[in-house]
Structure 1
């Protein structure tokens, strides 16, 4: 007698209209007595690796990283923990880290947020070439360094080096979408956000005293590799106004990240940094104009060397600024940067608009009680209401009146570093 049990865990409403149902054939495929799932359409072989020329061993990531875990993606993901010690395809991890600042955003990438003991997962990615969402099925076999495994049984992936399972699965889904792991080289955080959210980025390129606005478009290069191009500038916004535009979007709970300008700043080049907040501090006797600051998440454990760094004497010299920004020298997870240095450090800003309204709802059911789904619904709706979701659903421009350059509500903002070159 076969007993089927349906248990509601999470009901994320994703970035697009994606079916959350699995076919009976797929369910039967993971019910083999062997106990593990092997994806026949993306096997563990040289073709899947592509141009990666290393001695590899394919290891099951679920067994290695989630021996005791139940949830694939926690509801309170720490971006610093997500990025700790990571190397390789950090452009992808940067996009995931920026989304992790939004509750429920990472869960929406997966069809199920529970760890699958058979190693079968479904990742939802947007295909910018075809203009549609795709349901990417992957197994948990990850290519790892053979020498590291043979010498010390170390689990060391050859591409994205992290000890978190979910980024490795997303990376494999990206590799399957692109054709191989080798075709992921040279990609960018902006393209990753496009693929994860289904929204087309708008790129702002810094000029002398303003920012040119351009659209990003998916394309295939001469070899058939997925890439993107920038269209000609269609408008611009002054640097002063740009501060207020970004600040307003942060108040609308935008997702923001920035790429390092280079080693001279103490930041890591081609690594994205989430922007958390933009603040004005009223002028005082020492300053004729308001101070303007940007708070940035430091998930990469770098060390900002510019003005207002964590150990700068300016915090002692300006106690009013310190109090206004609630600065804590011991907090290594974030740092403050002046707006002037922000302008000098970054050359491009990409805005990736996330959906608003009903698409922002996220219900998370924890526990098996019959009351738990109702509690999750109430919590999700309360969070949606508190975040002005209903107001933005019926008035997308809510909160943006009076801006010289207005974007739609609730975008993701991504700093791509000193230029738009792919990482």
Structure 2
């Protein structure tokens, strides 16, 4: 059977519903769809992939203004229905050769244009071993993006939205049989939530999503006199460079530039004119047309000032969206410059030397770790997450003895699945010099000490980056939102020649009175917990972690730090009404158990190592009044113990709570003391969520 006939039959054929479910349910149950597994299943079953996670209907388009731009009879078709010989990717085509569609995602295309100068990066984002050839084709493609600290593989089917004439309504190619751009845009839309979520953005976002690099944004109105040197180093070090024009009432200005539009910087050149040197930058409009009309544009007379050889080398006269302009005009007519570094040595003269990077995931939580900025919210600022940074002498050079280049990046991430559903918060970061251990800094520290350099400007961008020259020593980094009680996850990254970075422990997100700290008294602690739960009637795992750590650290004068995973386990065991939170009654039960467990743990920890071995665990369980078979107990040591089969107090708490819960559940459910009967969902609820 000819290949095109085979494809046509597969496109038109409607598989039975049961058959479709059997094929695709396996993939949707995975945390991330596996491209290779899905491809092999479809090839084996002789069917074309249909992505139920991002369906070919209006749900994937969105719900906003983009709907008003769509053609009346929108259809979804596969490339084989649009062209006789579709091609996924062709390395021989000239540059990007893509054209923007109905979506306002010039920022996405401007960043993508930068990838075409780095084939190794492009081939990572767009895996090249994909094809429309019969043996490899099953209507499924995949692309890779750097998403909040890790690379994710995004799978899509190749059904694309077209108008009645069969023309792609979103990104298309100058070469009508080329489809990698349209499929990449679809994958990025899936990552962001919908096509609608690609409307409006910053080129800096897409640059990081394509590379995992770090952005440096330069306001051109405030640009350093060394801007040309910065551009030279950026070009030399394989950085991706984007830029954006000022906002304006008119879309296309008289000078040919598009207001509020993203462009790609594709080159720089210092030329020699009759009157002296001229610094030129080459830019490209992702529309593939509409160019600058001023000096050094395609039809400018300035080209006559160059030597014939240089003019032939640089001058191009065609409406392809690419043009030259002077550096001075660039600074005047463009708003900002974005440089995405794969290694963050841009602001340093020491190119080519090794940099190291560290990252920490964190979260601002209302009432817990969202303290706001320093100047306006001194009373709550100290609640923000704190990270200790130790800057070490990096490369043995004399300069590193006195100061080291440190780049700090802060990226915010909302919980919404849709990129545009929640606007970015205004975020910023502070760096303080201090001398001390890893304990969190108290409120007094921030009253008595000022941050390095000036207070940061808070901006509502996804990423904020600051660069420092810091002498070797110990510092604390404070990421913050502009206002307190604003919630979001964040990713903190630090780049330098040599450093260490970790979160500072012992955060009392509550203010404890001296009476509570100095003396244990049931009534005092009960009043303390009551006041806390008056403010937060139900607490989640993060709030439980903060509450336990401040209370337990001060009560026991201990360095014990309950991890978030441990608190999630504790919450799941005690969350009797399955709300994902604890009430004060449930917390009181936990507190009583903790005090009892701690007393028994200390008694049976005969060698005072802070851990229990197998025999000590047996003795501790007997003291508490419960027991397990030896084989079960041995397994629990493997499950909860460290590599030396020793159980810490934190693990002992999680273990004992689970043992007591399971035993109580068995007693409540059994009728004869020998066994129980549960429906499947009851069994899953009890065993998985506990």
Both structures adopt the same fold (TM-score exceeding 0.5) = yes
Name the counterpart of 1:4: none
Q: Which runs of 4+ in 1 moved over 6 A?
A: 405-408, 419-422
Distance 2:243 2:82 in 1: 29
- 1:253 CA drift (Å): 3.6
Over 3 Å counting, the alpha-carbon distance change for 1:272 and 1:420 in structure 2 is farther
**1:221-260, aligned counterparts within 5 Å?**
238=224, 240-260=225-245
CA contact (8 A) 1:125 1:196 kept: yes
Over 3 Å counting, the alpha-carbon distance change for 1:95 and 1:332 in structure 2 is same
Q: Which runs of 5+ in 1 are unaligned?
A: 1-18, 212-237, 357-390, 409-418
CA contact (8 A) 2:242 2:338 kept: no
Distance 1:355 1:118 in 2: 38
Secondary structure at the aligned position of 2:44 is classed as coil
Name the counterpart of 2:171: 160
CA contact (8 A) 1:96 1:167 kept: no
Distance 1:336 1:94 in 2: 16
Matched, 1:172 2:192: no
Name the counterpart of 2:123: 107
Distance 2:343 2:82 in 1: 32
- TM, length-normalised to structure 2: 0.40
- 1:339 CA drift (Å): 1.3
Matched, 1:336 2:324: yes
Secondary structure at the aligned position of 1:293 is classed as strand
Name the counterpart of 1:29: 42
- 1:99 CA drift (Å): 1.0
Name the counterpart of 2:111: 95
- 1:169 CA drift (Å): 1.2
- 1:104 CA drift (Å): 3.6
Distance 1:321 1:243 in 2: 25
- After superposition, give the CA deviation of every residue in 1:364-401 in whole Å (9 maximum; x if it has no partner): xxxxxxxxxxxxxxxxxxxxxxxxxxx9475899xxxx
Over 3 Å counting, the alpha-carbon distance change for 1:41 and 1:267 in structure 2 is same
Distance 2:45 2:168 in 1: 29
Q: Which runs of 5+ in 2 are unaligned?
A: 1-31, 247-251, 345-350, 357-393, 408-458, 463-690
Corresponding residue to 1:308 among 279, 283, 296: 296
**1:19-418, aligned counterparts within 5 Å?**
22-24=35-37, 26-33=39-46, 35-51=47-63, 52-53=66-67, 54=70, 55-64=72-81, 67-70=84-87, 72-79=88-95, 81-83=97-99, 86-88=101-103, 89-116=105-132, 117-128=137-148, 131-145=149-163, 149=164, 153-157=165-169, 159-162=170-173, 163=176, 164-207=178-221, 210-211=222-223, 238=224, 240-260=225-245, 262-282=252-272, 286-287=275-276, 290-297=277-284, 300-316=288-304, 318-320=305-307, 323=310, 326-330=313-317, 333=320, 334-354=322-342, 392=352
CA contact (8 A) 1:78 1:100 kept: no
Over 3 Å counting, the alpha-carbon distance change for 1:319 and 1:174 in structure 2 is closer
- 1:267 CA drift (Å): 2.3
Over 3 Å counting, the alpha-carbon distance change for 1:86 and 1:25 in structure 2 is closer
CA contact (8 A) 2:146 2:152 kept: yes
- 1:136 CA drift (Å): 0.9
- 1:166 CA drift (Å): 1.3
Name the counterpart of 2:371: none
Distance 1:23 1:176 in 2: 19
Secondary structure at the aligned position of 2:315 is classed as coil
Distance 2:263 2:90 in 1: 21
CA contact (8 A) 2:130 2:141 kept: no
Distance 1:155 1:144 in 2: 5
Distance 1:249 1:407 in 2: 17
CA contact (8 A) 2:116 2:122 kept: yes
Over 3 Å counting, the alpha-carbon distance change for 1:330 and 1:23 in structure 2 is closer
Over 3 Å counting, the alpha-carbon distance change for 1:421 and 1:77 in structure 2 is farther
- 1:65 CA drift (Å): 5.2
What count of residue pairs does the alignment treat as equivalent? Answer: 310
Over 3 Å counting, the alpha-carbon distance change for 1:37 and 1:98 in structure 2 is same
CA contact (8 A) 2:75 2:161 kept: yes
Relative contact order (C-alpha < 8 Å, sep 6+): which is higher? 1
Comparing 94-103 with 263-272, which one deviates more in the overlay? Answer: 263-272
CA contact (8 A) 1:76 1:103 kept: no
Over 3 Å counting, the alpha-carbon distance change for 1:315 and 1:109 in structure 2 is same
Over 3 Å counting, the alpha-carbon distance change for 1:172 and 1:26 in structure 2 is same
Distance 1:293 1:79 in 2: 21
Over 3 Å counting, the alpha-carbon distance change for 1:104 and 1:325 in structure 2 is same
CA contact (8 A) 1:247 1:279 kept: no
- After superposition, give the CA deviation of every residue in 1:20-48 in whole Å (9 maximum; x if it has no partner): 98554552134323x31101222223322
Distance 1:329 1:111 in 2: 32
- TM, length-normalised to structure 1: 0.62
Over 3 Å counting, the alpha-carbon distance change for 1:76 and 1:180 in structure 2 is same
Distance 2:213 2:80 in 1: 34
- 1:82 CA drift (Å): 2.3
Give the structure with the larger helix fraction: 2
Distance 1:246 1:325 in 2: 24
Distance 2:354 2:214 in 1: 22
Over 3 Å counting, the alpha-carbon distance change for 1:165 and 1:329 in structure 2 is closer
Over 3 Å counting, the alpha-carbon distance change for 1:106 and 1:74 in structure 2 is farther
CA contact (8 A) 1:65 1:165 kept: no
- After superposition, give the CA deviation of every residue in 1:58-98 in whole Å (9 maximum; x if it has no partner): 4233214564245x222244236223x75533322222222
Distance 2:33 2:93 in 1: 23
- 1:111 CA drift (Å): 3.6
